Amino acid sequence: MKNSKGSLWREYMLPFALLLGLLAAATLAGDYLLHRLDLVWVGRYLGIPGTLLIIGSLYYSARKRKWVTTGEPKTLLSMHEFSAWLGSLMVLLHAGIHFNAILPWLATVAMGVNVISGMVGKILLRQSRQHVQGEREKFQLRGLSKAEVEQAVFWDAVALGAMTQWRRVHIPIFIVFAVLALGHIVSVLLFWGWA
Ligand code: HEM
């Protein structure tokens, strides 16, 4: 990591603040518009595509564990970040400012913590990639194609210590969120008389 304060802010804090700020601003603006246009019912249904986007974003984890072999890991991680971010925005609009029961709110809070933790992971990964890239350049990896070097650097960065420790926190947070969200979904289905 570069040690000047300016680059710490520009390279790490600013992208984090932008991702989070944009999510908060889009949630507030979206909620306001839905209320202004009398489309609160649309917001209610956003929970479904939002959840599907979040579930779809987990394809990256399946690729990482080699359960599936299709897709370039780096692109899939970017898709994970984007779809989980967009899916969370939809779920936040779905939650709105309505308060009906505790369980959905616990699920929403867990999702919020999950998203923020995901953003912290993104910043950590950037830092460890820069570190690994520096190491690679020192050893002058020869004989591998550019794409192969890129992929090796990517996996090394993902496996680096700070990322491994972060995952020890992030994955349990994700499990709490998944259990609460599932509880909420099952109770809604029961309420609707579908199950
Ligand atoms: C509801 C939202 C989210 C959920 C449920 C979620 C879930 C997960 C899970 C389960 C992992 C572990 C991957 C693995 O090791 O198999 C992960 C990793 C990661 N997530 Fe998210 N995430 C969410 C949002 C985000 C957001 C918004 C970002 C960034 C903008 C993000 C960035 C990352 C990064 C960088 C990793 C690390 C990749 C790795 O360790 O290989 N996540 N996420």
Contact yes or no for 72/50 (Cβ under 8 A)? no
pLDDT at 1: 45
Nearest CA to ligand 1 atom 13: 61
Tokens representing 131? 């570190």
DSSP-based helix, strand, coil % in the chain, nearest 5 = 85, 0, 15
- Residues with a CB atom less than 6 Å from ligand 1: 19, 54, 61, 64, 77, 80-81, 84-85, 88, 111, 114-115, 118-119, 121-122, 125, 158, 163, 167, 170-171, 174
Which atom, in ligand 1's list, is nearest to the CA of 88? 1
Share of the chain above pLDDT 70, in %: 89
Mean pLDDT of 165-187: 94
Using CA atoms, how far apart are residues 171 and 124, in angstroms rounded to an integer?
15
Provide the pLDDT confidence category of residue 118 given band limits of 50, 70 and 90.
very high
Residue 96 has pLDDT above 50, yes or no: yes
pLDDT at 8: 73
Nearest CA to ligand 1 atom 40: 158
pLDDT at 72: 92
Cα 37 to averaged position of ligand 1 atoms, centre (Å): 34
Greater confidence (103 vs 9) lies with 103
pLDDT at 6: 62
pLDDT at 99: 64
Assign 34 to helix, strand or coil: helix
Residue 148 has pLDDT above 80, yes or no: no
Angle between helices 146-159 and 73-95 in degrees, nearest 10: 50
Share of the chain above pLDDT 90, in %: 55
Nearest CA to ligand 1 atom 14: 61
Residue 2 has pLDDT above 50, yes or no: no
pLDDT at 195: 46
pLDDT at 142: 60
